[in-house]
Amino acid sequence: MFKPALVIFFSLILGACSSPGGSNNSNLGGTHFYSLSSLPPGASTNNQLRIGVGPLEIPRLISRPQIVSRKNNNEIIMAEKHQWGGSLKEDLLQVISDNLSTLLKTENIEQYPWKFAFKPRYQVRINIERLDGELGKQVTLKARWRLISHNKEILVKRAVIKTPVSGRSYNAYVKAQSQTLKTFSQQIAAAIRRQQAQ
């Protein structure tokens, strides 16, 4: 016959397993994981256009698993319970590549480093200097990018893009970052179209 202490012990174990914070919780240790989103793919009608994206550089401040935001101009917040699901640098490179593929209607886009056989008509080199902001306020992207054609630098641009964050959740914060990258990709795509038209 079970002693009362043992009955209480097993009840606590069973309760922990069935509670939202127990082993059935889909978030590892209560941590939420995020990824950036890109534009939905569209019809590819310009596959003669070949684009190489990268190298892409990001500052050490945001090159970490935790999602980084700002409390004010001088104080940053590293969210231990809100992290990137993978490498932020790889995610940024993928999202920008996907966005350019949709905007320029081509599937011939490769990320750096690409195979020797791939000969891009244009290469986009990107140096992201800042991609952060305040929850419930805005996200700021500061970046320098270069357009290269046939191993010659033909354009150097600096982008400063601010996007409002619609809510104080980290989900809203990441959505705003994705929207910022959409606007950034639109600027790059527009520059490539102008070069093609010349």
Other beta carbons within 10 Å of 88: 24
Other beta carbons within 10 Å of 101: 23
User: 157 and 191 in contact (C-beta within 8 Å)?
Assistant: yes
Apex 179 CA angle, 142 and 67, nearest 5 = 70
Helix or strand holding residue 184 (H, E): helix 170-197
Apex 119 CA angle, 128 and 96, nearest 5 = 30
Q: Tell me how far apart the alpha carbons of residues 109 and 123 are, in angstroms, rounded to a whole number.
A: 10
pTM: 0.85
Provide the 3-class DSSP secondary structure of residue 65. coil
Other beta carbons within 10 Å of 63: 13
CATH class of 33-197: alpha beta
**What is the residue-wise DSSP string for 12-43?**
HHHHHHHSTTSTT-SSGGG-EEE----PPP--
CA proximity to 113, closest of 86, 87, 93: 93
pLDDT tens, the chain, 198 aa long: 444 444 443 343 334 343 333 333 346 679 999 999 999 998 888 889 999 999 999 999 999 999 999 999 899 999 999 999 999 999 999 999 999 999 999 999 999 999 999 999 999 999 999 999 999 999 999 999 999 999 999 999 999 999 999 999 999 999 999 999 999 999 999 999 999 998
Other beta carbons within 10 Å of 33: 14
> 32, exposed or middle or buried, with CB in 10 Å at 0-12, 13-18, 19+?
middle
Helix or strand holding residue 144 (H, E): strand 138-149
